[in-house]
Structure 1
């Protein structure tokens, strides 16, 4: 190679690994700063390797001390950035802009010392412009553009200590043309990979924002339903109380005391009225929160057995196949929201399959801390559209107003307790709805440890 070959001021190469997907743990500014820090390490290593190769292998006289000093200062700045920004969760645009301007300054200095404007790697400025365009707001990206333009203009006005002779007529044999081709391939490849990576990050972010917006709409829908339900429950309280008083008066009247059949009808009416009151009370308890008022400590087995016993006694199911596989019983807090959610799932299975409903309970996961409750039926199963829109309001094949709200509410209660609800069709027929819930969501609160300082104060 011709000893007059230009020095390649290596740019910051983007990380080609898959992007991180947990934006809830770190802000976008912090993720961008971490990315710039990582890219800068690549730039430092590349610059030092290129300088050493050109100076010692190709025999090109370079201001070695100055160029290695610039790389060392850039390394020190990157290390300081790593230590300073790591504990912070949010980083503003000004910090990102300052970091990019430092990179532009370092690239300008290296290019100045290795050929200036005659160095074909001057087009690496375009990578800095691309970084600013995708990571910064419009005004800050234009600051990066202005800085790169100033760097190019400065190298035109103030030539550096090394001059690169170019002879494009020699074609690919000319070192300048070789450097220009390498610069083009490097810039195009890194820009395509980097912008592609940023596009994936943006698509993931947009998808998460869309999911959050959908969740907000669903929660608003639940709030409206809760207000409507609690209002209806309050309105029903007065007529139910009036009916209870009237039934008590009728029980003492002569026409009813003389006819045992009428007394039996009154008893049945009183029982059904009591059930209506219990339903209204449950609505009032759970209208505002998944965990009802006055929680009661119990165990998982007792809670599930009582729930299944009550549901089986009040539903016209022919066969309820209840299987509970618990190696050990665990203490929990009785949760009215969970009780209503499981009841909704069982009611949906009963509507699809009045002859048989199955319910199986197991503990899975690490140390058996995941409650898995599967409700099965022998009905026609879910349609493909219903499965695709599972958990959305009014997603039902029942063909009546309000259909699909039970599973919609169940899904949101499960989500509020940190669990998930899924559905699938069974073979050869039927459907299965599976609830997965961490036991920590139902665990009783742990007592706070005593404060040793309090005893000292006494």
Structure 2
């Protein structure tokens, strides 16, 4: 089985070389039979046979490779230049009408390998042409005084090489950048579709939970009237009130997202104060330590920022509970007109293979799918920010949030 396809760079190169070998053989045979009957066929056929063996060896070496490395492509193209140079030197040198075929490896290299490798190919082709120029048979040069013509061909070849190297490489770079942008757009679109599906599922779950919670509240009131001495009624009522408050908050956020999202500037101190208060209320067993030296700075925010940051704190609290730790650090500072926020837990850390995916993709684990971090990251990206997660050297993990600062209140 051959792994590479005709659409890959190595696949195209090997296919092109196969066609070139067939054309070379036909041209050599036709030339010896109809045009240059005195040509020595044996050396030419030997070079073509050697090139065919190299082609078969290349197919064998790359049979399990989807795409060749840049160094491999460089060696393949250099081999093409060498074989072509030998064939041309045995059939007239620079006077051969097919000497311009030395440009083909440069064209292929310009769109498949890095720039410094393309320069190696270009210099090799120019050197090859120079060798062929200086070894043109004397009878070809003196016939009708063709010296100036061949010298002009050399200058034209060098100029063609320069044009190919700079123009084709520039066009190839533009295409690569465009493909990269299209890939990013497709990735963003898929991510947005995934978030939309999550939002629809969450809205449906909220709608379905609203009625049972309201029913439980009424039943609690009736049972509390019937058995007022039971001490747990107050705690149950607090839990149901918290559930109702969360549902109301979700409805508010949903209504906000239905409208055109609006942003406003708010002091970082106000954001940290609200975040600390909510974290302390929801995770009373955790000690939330806030260290900030930029409370007066302003940051653009919307109603979704606090829930996004609270999701990160919730992950930190869960990590601490698993490790029997009780402190969450929130550190804030400003640098280069950006707000840097670090949320540090003392948990067991995160498995290395999951770090790169957290916040970008669903990451299945014993405690969920990482959906909260995906939603938090989506909110931060909408606010032109970013989020990264890394393990601490000693213990736990740190989630870093970066958001742009603003100077004007909106």
Query: TM tier, shorter chain?
Result: 0.5 to 0.7
Q: Which residue of 1 aligns with 2:330?
A: 359
**Alpha-carbon separation, structure 2, partners of 1:418 and 1:388:** 20
What do residues 168-204 of structure 1 show as CA deviations (whole Å, max 9, x unaligned)?
5149982221110111121023213322222222112
**Alpha-carbon separation, structure 2, partners of 1:266 and 1:443:** 49
- The answer on whether the counterparts of 1:222 and 1:409 sit within 8 Å (CA) in structure 2 is yes
What do residues 268-307 of structure 1 show as CA deviations (whole Å, max 9, x unaligned)?
1111111001111222222465699999996431332122
**Alpha-carbon separation, structure 2, partners of 1:297 and 1:178:** 70
Aligned residues between the structures: 272
Q: Which residue of 2 aligns with 1:377?
A: 345
The answer as to 2:281 corresponding to 1:310 is no
Q: Which residue of 2 aligns with 1:432?
A: 398
CA 1:294 to 1:327, structure 2 compared with 1: closer, same or farther past 3 Å?
closer
Give how far 1:229 is off. 0.9
**TM-score under structure 1 normalisation?**
0.53
What do residues 295-330 of structure 1 show as CA deviations (whole Å, max 9, x unaligned)?
999643133212212212221544322212225254
Q: Which residue of 2 aligns with 1:186?
A: 159
What do residues 221-266 of structure 1 show as CA deviations (whole Å, max 9, x unaligned)?
111111111121122112212222222233333x32xx2xx1x311
Higher alpha-carbon deviation: 339-348 or 428-437: 428-437
**Alpha-carbon separation, structure 1, partners of 2:264 and 2:200:** 25
Unmatched segments (≥5 aa) in structure 1 = 1-119, 135-166, 446-458
Q: Which residue of 2 aligns with 1:422?
A: 388
CA 1:386 to 1:339, structure 2 compared with 1: closer, same or farther past 3 Å?
same
Give the alignment of 1:3-402 within 5 angstroms. Answer: 168-170=140-142, 174-253=147-226, 255-256=227-228, 259=229, 262=230, 264-287=231-254, 299-326=267-294, 328=296, 330=298, 335-354=302-321, 355=325, 356-366=327-337, 370-396=338-364, 398-400=365-367, 402=368
What do residues 321-353 of structure 1 show as CA deviations (whole Å, max 9, x unaligned)?
2212225254876x3311111111111122222
- The answer on whether the counterparts of 1:352 and 1:378 sit within 8 Å (CA) in structure 2 is yes
**TM-score under structure 2 normalisation?**
0.59
CA 1:408 to 1:219, structure 2 compared with 1: closer, same or farther past 3 Å?
same
Q: Which residue of 2 aligns with 1:51?
A: none
**Alpha-carbon separation, structure 2, partners of 1:424 and 1:329:** 26
**Alpha-carbon separation, structure 1, partners of 2:265 and 2:280:** 23
- The answer on whether the counterparts of 2:316 and 2:344 sit within 8 Å (CA) in structure 1 is yes
RMSD over equivalenced CA pairs, Å: 3.4
Q: Indicate the SS of the match to 1:353.
A: helix
Q: Indicate the SS of the match to 2:232.
A: helix
Give how far 1:443 is off. 6.8
Select the residue among 400, 403, 409 that pairs with 2:369. Answer: 403
CA 1:352 to 1:443, structure 2 compared with 1: closer, same or farther past 3 Å?
farther
- The answer on whether the counterparts of 1:299 and 1:331 sit within 8 Å (CA) in structure 2 is yes
